[in-house]
Structure 1
Amino acid sequence: MIHVCYCFHDKTGRYAKFVGTSMLSLFEKTFAPVTVHILHDDTLTPDNRDKLLLIAERCNQIVKFYNVAELCSDKLNQMVRMVPVVEKSRVSVGSFFKLMIPQIIPRELDRIIYLDADILFNLDVSELWNIELGDKIFGVVTERANGIGTFPVSRDGFVKPEDYFNSGVLLMNLNLLRGEESTILDGVKFKAEHLQYKQFDQLIFNYCFATRTLKLPVKFNRFVGRARGKGEPLDEKIYHYAGVALTLETSDPFNRLWFSCFMRTPFLDVEVFGRIFREVSNLCNLLKDRSLNVAVGMSDKDRAFFVAPTQLDAVKKFFAIRDDELIIPAENEDSLRKLLDAMKTFKGDKIFFIMTEIFLKRPFPFDLLTKAGFVAGKDFINGWLLLSDKKGGAPYNSYSLVKAL
């Protein structure tokens, strides 16, 4: 019997579909019997629980549920008190459920595979399960194996860059982990003292165990964004749709792989289309509001532009810039000073179109403008939002629609 584990907090009720889709791909690609262990809290609705059970039943597999809020309330509350920002973070308090796997999973199990919800299987998980860990705590795929640059925690010397791993797929040695409860709590304390690092469970596990892992081939946790960027064909791998890698563009083979699985889960129901309609309506209203804000902001004002010299000809064409309109070249740090000086001089008379999405290899610092007292839509506009992808603007990412499914 192969044992795998998912952990999640589902405040919107829309997260369970990712777990269900991942489960179905796991079951369909694996010939051995599998038991799925799900660590959750009271945000798992009865309807979503039934859908997850149905997926397992249809595939003649097993799923078990563990309410962390009931089984480990004291430990969970202690961690949340230590790091209260977790409740408002993108990953949610569910990231701490992962830290409790060794204590919650039955003690007769000496190993388990942990999986993030945005994992999809295109290989038999037996390949991963049959790897011997020996005296290692985790089997991992490093971030470097996926071509990811150095993380701040590595630059600061806490974890070697070559050891820093992604926590989305973990082959866990439960026998060893059960003796490391105090070590993990020290990791939580480290997170509490280093809030500048964005990661939660991944940071904690790396801080505690980065030197005690077995490094695995990248096929066991291949980032979709990286595979897509390199033009890789679909292969026998475990795919990780990290970030906003999953969109509705089904001509993309990686998106198509996920949706072909999702459509065979009970999470595809009539309500999906209503949620998509509402989300699209919200997007349409947002675009209308932005257009109106531009019209209002331009009332009785002249235009000015902050634009990189390499983009100047295109921007002149798209915006029909006149010869008498102010243009500040975005070339260096001094250019930013010139922009701020000009905005102070012409405050109330000109509205500045910021046409430099990336400035000095970083996203343009709009917060610098707001801290200086300037107001978006009144004193300046992010001009890139007005350009279609055909004109060099950012292509639309439909991940918000995926979340609404």
Structure 2
Amino acid sequence: MIHVCFPIHDKNGTYAKYLGTAIYSLLKNTKEKVMIHLLHDDTFRLEDKKKLVDMVKAFSQDIKFYCISIDDVIQRLDGTARWYYTVGTFFRLYILKTVPSVIEKIIYLDADVVVHLDIKQLWDIPFQDAAIIAAHDVHIQSFKSYPLFDNACLSADKYFNAGVLVLNCNLIREKFNLLNNSINFFVEHYEEILSADQDALNYVFKTSCRFVDNIYNLSVKHERELGKIKIKPAIYHYINRSYGSEQVDEYDQLYYQYLLESPWGDVEFGMNCLLNMHSDLYALQKQLRKQKCMFVRSKKVIYFGASGVLLQAILKEIPRQLSDYFVDNDSDKWGEIVAEMPVCDPQKICTEQRNSIVIIIVSLQYTTIKRQLEFYGYQENRDFFYGEDLLSAENGGKKYNMFLSFDKKTKGGNIWRYR
């Protein structure tokens, strides 16, 4: 039987789907008998526990749950170190203290992995007298300075990523006091630590690690940086949540394929994805508006349209300059003064130096005026903008907040509501 351990601390109730995806991918790709050992605290929800039990049972596999507390460790740390680390940081250190002592060997996996190979491949690698099996951390070289390397406490060329480990339980119990030695390391070196318990594990096992190929802990972030967008059998590590809408590539497709096949790939997840995309689009829209306004304020501004509510709102956003003026297709308005600026014939635009002006359309006849300006040779979103796109939400700009969200508490009937 292959023993595999996962941790979860789920304070916000949002991380179980990633854990479920990792376990689902593992079980789908092996025919070996597997026992899942899940270390959790009281933040782990009963509904997610039930989903896990049902999913593992569907694969004819087994799972055990261990509810642990790290209060004793927190009390042993001084005030500074106590606040430096999160609760989940310590779960890896509790594995051998928690699982049955008859277990001689166990694989540890972070919850942000996808096991896209038969886990037996990793299980069958011999320890060769080492306490652990791990892969090099490919990101460590990107640090310009790493205090624990600078003081020779650790070595960069022998530094492993702790997201995928195989533990030689008997040897560790016999020769390494994992929990106590790690806590002592935290207390002594907390000012130099950058990678929390990963630094501690590297310190404890710095002379007893067998390094294996990075296919057993393949950083998606690093593969993307190298331009390697090709799926192969591997354990993919989505470090720093490197999945989502920013890069829709084969790695995203692989991840969401497993997630959507799992019990967490339901309607609620789909709506949450849409809501996250909506949030990202709103943030992007705000940034674009800010950049457009900065661009506009660096030019002479010509307002196309000399009346209306939109005009009044725009004048609150864009500071006026003495050289600014209005143009309007209504010849009766030519020569008038609006907001201390003259109203002119639109033909005047053609006499301006193109790179020194920007045109803001404040009329409701946007499509008609857009065609007129394009006929003059001007380009939308370069030479002219629609005024509403420059407005902040406070002054009546687009808020993008009329969006459907999922009401989890509703049972049947209308489960969608407007935000």
TM-score range, shorter chain: 0.5 to 0.7
Map 1:34-183 → 2, pairs under 5 A: 34-69=34-69, 73-79=71-77, 83-86=81-84, 92-144=86-138, 148-149=141-142, 152=146, 153-178=148-173, 179-180=176-177, 181-183=179-181
Identity of counterpart residues, as a percentage?
Answer: 28
Contact persistence 1:34–1:61 (CA under 8 A): yes
Deviation sequence 1:199-227 (CA, Å, 0-9, x none): 11111111222221111111111111222
Deviation sequence 1:158-189 (CA, Å, 0-9, x none): 21111011000011122233341432222222
Following the alignment from structure 2 to structure 1, what is the Cα–Cα distance between the partners of residues 205 and 172?
A: 10
Give the CA deviation at 1:285.
4.3
The equivalent residue for 1:28 is 28
Following the alignment from structure 1 to structure 2, what is the Cα–Cα distance between the partners of residues 23 and 85?
A: 31
Give the CA deviation at 1:103.
0.5
Letter in 2 for 1:169: V
Count of aligned positions? 297
The equivalent residue for 2:221 is 225
The equivalent residue for 2:256 is 259
The equivalent residue for 1:343 is none
Map 1:5-404 → 2, pairs under 5 A: 5-69=5-69, 73-79=71-77, 83-86=81-84, 92-144=86-138, 148-149=141-142, 152=146, 153-178=148-173, 179-180=176-177, 181-192=179-190, 194=191, 196-228=192-224, 229-248=226-245, 252-287=249-284, 289-290=286-287, 295=293, 299=319, 322=356
Question: Per the alignment, do residues 82 and 139 of structure 1 end up closer, same or farther by CA in structure 2, a change over 3 Å counting?
Answer: farther
The equivalent residue for 2:386 is none
| Unaligned ranges ≥5, structure 2 | 294-315, 323-353, 358-419
3-state secondary structure, aligned to 2:44: coil
Question: Per the alignment, do residues 244 and 73 of structure 1 end up closer, same or farther by CA in structure 2, a change over 3 Å counting?
Answer: closer
Aligned residues: CA RMSD: 2.8
Contact persistence 2:21–2:114 (CA under 8 A): yes
3-state secondary structure, aligned to 2:106: strand
Question: Per the alignment, do residues 3 and 203 of structure 1 end up closer, same or farther by CA in structure 2, a change over 3 Å counting?
Answer: same
Contact persistence 2:36–2:64 (CA under 8 A): yes
Give the CA deviation at 1:297.
7.6
Question: Per the alignment, do residues 177 and 288 of structure 1 end up closer, same or farther by CA in structure 2, a change over 3 Å counting?
Answer: same
3-state secondary structure, aligned to 1:166: strand
Contact persistence 1:8–1:95 (CA under 8 A): no
Letter in 2 for 1:235: K
Question: Per the alignment, do residues 7 and 86 of structure 1 end up closer, same or farther by CA in structure 2, a change over 3 Å counting?
Answer: farther
Following the alignment from structure 2 to structure 1, what is the Cα–Cα distance between the partners of residues 318 and 204?
A: 55
Contact persistence 1:246–1:255 (CA under 8 A): yes
3-state secondary structure, aligned to 2:130: coil
Following the alignment from structure 1 to structure 2, what is the Cα–Cα distance between the partners of residues 52 and 95?
A: 23
Following the alignment from structure 1 to structure 2, what is the Cα–Cα distance between the partners of residues 247 and 278?
A: 12
Range 155-164 or range 273-282, more displaced: 273-282
TM-score by length of structure 2 reads: 0.64
Larger radius of gyration: 2
Following the alignment from structure 1 to structure 2, what is the Cα–Cα distance between the partners of residues 168 and 105?
A: 18
Range 26-35 or range 246-255, more displaced: 246-255
Deviation sequence 1:320-370 (CA, Å, 0-9, x none): 9759xxxxxxxxxxxxxxxxxxxxxxxxxxxxxxxxxxxxxxxxxxxxxxx
Give the CA deviation at 1:250.
8.1
3-state secondary structure, aligned to 1:263: helix
Question: Per the alignment, do residues 2 and 103 of structure 1 end up closer, same or farther by CA in structure 2, a change over 3 Å counting?
Answer: same
Following the alignment from structure 2 to structure 1, what is the Cα–Cα distance between the partners of residues 182 and 128?
A: 20
Give the CA deviation at 1:105.
1.1
Of structures 1 and 2, the one with the larger relative CO (CA 8 A, separation 6+) is: 1
Question: Per the alignment, do residues 284 and 177 of structure 1 end up closer, same or farther by CA in structure 2, a change over 3 Å counting?
Answer: same
Deviation sequence 1:120-153 (CA, Å, 0-9, x none): 1121111111122143121110124x78445613
Give the CA deviation at 1:44.
0.4
3-state secondary structure, aligned to 2:182: helix
Give the CA deviation at 1:238.
1.1
Give the CA deviation at 1:78.
3.3
Give the CA deviation at 1:241.
1.0
The equivalent residue for 2:372 is none
Following the alignment from structure 1 to structure 2, what is the Cα–Cα distance between the partners of residues 286 and 255?
A: 22
Give the CA deviation at 1:53.
1.2
Contact persistence 1:250–1:256 (CA under 8 A): no
Following the alignment from structure 2 to structure 1, what is the Cα–Cα distance between the partners of residues 56 and 75?
A: 31
Contact persistence 1:79–1:96 (CA under 8 A): no
Question: Per the alignment, do residues 125 and 148 of structure 1 end up closer, same or farther by CA in structure 2, a change over 3 Å counting?
Answer: farther
Question: Per the alignment, do residues 110 and 63 of structure 1 end up closer, same or farther by CA in structure 2, a change over 3 Å counting?
Answer: same
Contact persistence 2:2–2:35 (CA under 8 A): yes
Letter in 2 for 1:22: A
TM-score by length of structure 1 reads: 0.66
| Unaligned ranges ≥5, structure 1 | 303-319, 324-405
Following the alignment from structure 1 to structure 2, what is the Cα–Cα distance between the partners of residues 138 and 131?
A: 11
Give the CA deviation at 1:68.
1.1
Contact persistence 1:187–1:205 (CA under 8 A): no
Contact persistence 2:6–2:36 (CA under 8 A): yes
Give the CA deviation at 1:284.
4.5
3-state secondary structure, aligned to 1:43: coil
